[in-house]
Structure 1
Amino acid sequence: MKVLCFGSANLDHVYKVDHFTVPGETQGCLEYNIKCGGKGVNQAIAMAFAGNDTYFAGIIGSDSGLLKDALVDKGVHIDYMKISNKPTGHAIIEVDQSGQNHILLYGGTNKEIDFEYIDEVLSHFSKGDIVVLQNEINNVPYIIERCYEKEMKSFFNAAPYDIAVKNYPIEKVTWLVVNETEGAALSNEEDYEKIIQTLKQKYPHTHILFTMGKEGSRVLTDKEDIKVEALKVNAVDSIPNYEEVFE
């Protein structure tokens, strides 16, 4: 079994600040770093770290050798990564003293994924293989449809959420991963229990992983409903960057 993480790759420009910059203010930063990010890259490294035979598919610019090196260093295959002459996706991130963040995202090459590239990548995978997706790239619905046709198992993290997700063929996804905000938007509910029940009714054949921040998470399948408690930690930085987790 192979795992394909088809997704985004970003260079994160991280600025640690005393407070979030307000309109009209010029503020010096306390610390600056460039880090490898993007939900697709983070997912790929997490899957490889868990011992899976993991491949990353996505498009980066010629300016992003750092991303290639990071994936290879963590054991991710990059055979199906594509190089473009356009700028790599990147994020401008402010992190305040409490560890909270503001993020400005530029899609860049993450928005260049076309049907031809998708079909070429998927030709190397077959029934029973796993595809892991998020919503930072374009043509996600097409990837879901093609993986369903190939009888691949699919995991879709509906982040970052936008209204178009409501029209995605989520009923063809094996696992849907949402947090409180994404779950509320998809279900038009706000109460946790109502969100979960509405999603199960709407997508009866899709398993659901519902993350609830400090409240932990819920795992719902046809046969199980499992509550997982969150670990109690002091937040330092809430940016989902693999370097803080796997190093």
Structure 2
Amino acid sequence: MRIVNFGSLNIDKTYRVPHMVREGETISSLSYQEFVGGKGLNQSIAIARAGGEVWHAGLVGETDGDSLVHALQGAGVHTDFVGRSPLPSGHTVIQINRQGNNSIIVSGGANRAIGPDYVDAVLAHFEEGDLILLQNEISCLHEVMEKAAERKLRIYLNPSPIDEDVLTAPLDQVHCFLINEIEGQALTGGSDSEEILSLFKEKYPQATVVLTLGEKGAIYQDRDHRFFAPAEKIQPVDTTAAGDTFCGYFLAAITKGRSIEDAMSLASRAAAKTCLTRGASNAIPKLSDLA
């Protein structure tokens, strides 16, 4: 089973701030740094650092994309399918407050230049039983899902950011949803984790669900089983890539034949470790760091 991650590649412009900026307010940042990121890139790097083998598909700018490609290659991600666009690479503006919490604005750039021909060219290299990981930071999400389903790939969807494009996607084709509570509420209308999981069984009976709950842990649910993985107790410095780390470690573990319980526990530990370092992809730990 191979993994292809059809996902975003961003340059993260990160500002540490005394508090999240409010409407009409101007504040001074405490510091500024640039990192490579994007949910797609972060999750590919997490898979590779967890010991998985992953091919990344996505677009970067012709003049500003080298750092993104080099970051993937440096982590051991296959970059055969990373293409170039005349548009600038995607970027994010990230605020991180004194408590380590964040808010993020995304500018799509080259991530939004993906078209059907490129999708066909990439997916032609994958076949039934392979796993495709998707987020919602690229164009052509619907087309990627439909064409992946036609080729009988197993679709793992992290529907972030949650918006109308995700809500109208062919969600009945998803094998596994990787979601937080906000995304779960939007997809089901549920108000808490118990209601979200119950409604998922009704709305998407074909799918498994991994529901992350931040400092409260995470829950796995399929048709017959449910498993809770508690979060490690830490004092976070920066939570930016914690969810991406969890997704990547979970996928790597299950493709290597580990049990769901082991995969969830390992992903929780890795996500907690990520929160102890500032940045995004650079904060994602290697498997050896968790020993």
User: TM-score, with normalisation over the residues of structure 1?
Assistant: 0.95
Corresponding residue SS for 2:166 = helix
When structure 1 is superposed on structure 2, of 19-28 and 63-72 the one drifting more is 19-28
Map of 1:197-208 to 2, 5 A cutoff? 197-208=198-209
The answer as to 2:35 corresponding to 1:35 is yes
1:112-131 map, 5 Å: 112-131=113-132
The match for 1:233 is: 234
CA distance in 2, matches of 1:124, 1:227: 36
Distance 1:24 1:168, change over 3 A: closer
Deviations 1:191-244 (A, max 9, x none): 221111111111111111111112211111123211111111101112112211
1:244 corresponds to 2:283: yes
Does the residue aligned with 1:52 lie in a helix, a strand or coil? coil
- 8 A Cα contact 1:17 1:28, kept in partner: yes
Give the match for residue 77 of structure 1: 78
Partner Cα separation in structure 2 for residue 220 and residue 160 of structure 1? 22
1:138 maps to which residue?
139
Name stretches of at least 5 consecutive residues in structure 1 with no aligned partner.
none
User: Does 2:186 align with 1:185?
Assistant: yes
Report the secondary structure of 2:100's partner residue: coil
In 1, distance between residues paired with 2:204 and 2:26? 47
Aligned to 1:6: 6
The amino acid across from 1:60 in the alignment is V
Q: How does the TM-score come out when normalised to structure 2?
A: 0.81
8 Å Cα contact 1:170-1:176 kept in structure 2? no
CA distance in 2, matches of 1:101, 1:207: 28
Q: Which has the higher helix share?
A: 2
- Percent of aligned pairs sharing the same letter: 36
Which consecutive residues of structure 2, in runs of 5 or more, have no partner in the other structure? 242-279, 287-291
Q: Contact (CA 8 Å) 1:4, 1:132: kept in 2 or not?
A: yes
Counterpart amino acid of residue 243 in structure 1: N
- TM-aligned CA deviation for residue 129 of structure 1: 1.1
Tell me: CA distance 1:22–1:208, structure 2 relative to 1, closer, same or farther (3 Å). closer
CA distance in 2, matches of 1:152, 1:53: 16
| Per-residue deviation, 1:108 | 0.7
SS at match of 2:81: coil
Q: Is the 8 A contact 1:215 1:230 kept in 2?
A: yes
Mapped pair 1:100 → 2:101: yes
Shift, 1:28, TM fit? 3.0
Equivalent in the alignment of 2:155: 154
SS in 1 for 2:78: coil
Amino acid at match of 1:134: Q
Matched, 1:165 2:166: yes
Q: Is the 8 A contact 2:11 2:34 kept in 1?
A: yes
Distance between the aligned counterparts of 2:192 and 2:217, measured in 1?
Answer: 15
Q: Which amino acid aligns with 1:121?
A: V
> Residues of 2 paired with 1:99 and 1:158: CA distance?
23
Query: Does structure 1 conserve the Cα–Cα contact (< 8 Å) formed by 2:13 and 2:91?
Result: yes
Give a deviation string over 1:159-189, Cα, whole Å, max 9, x none: 1100232221111111011111111111112
**Aligned: 1:212 with 2:251:** no
Is the aligned partner of 1:61 residue 2:100? no
Between stretches 202-211 and 92-101, larger displacement belongs to: 92-101
Tell whether the 8 Å contact from 1:215 to 1:229 is kept in structure 2 after alignment. Answer: yes
What is residue 50 of structure 2 aligned with on the other side? 50
Contact 1:72–1:78 at 8 Å: present in 2 too? yes
- Which amino acid in the other structure matches residue 227 of structure 1? F
What's the offset of the Cα at 1:23? Answer: 4.5
Query: Which of 27-36 and 9-18 deviates more?
Result: 27-36
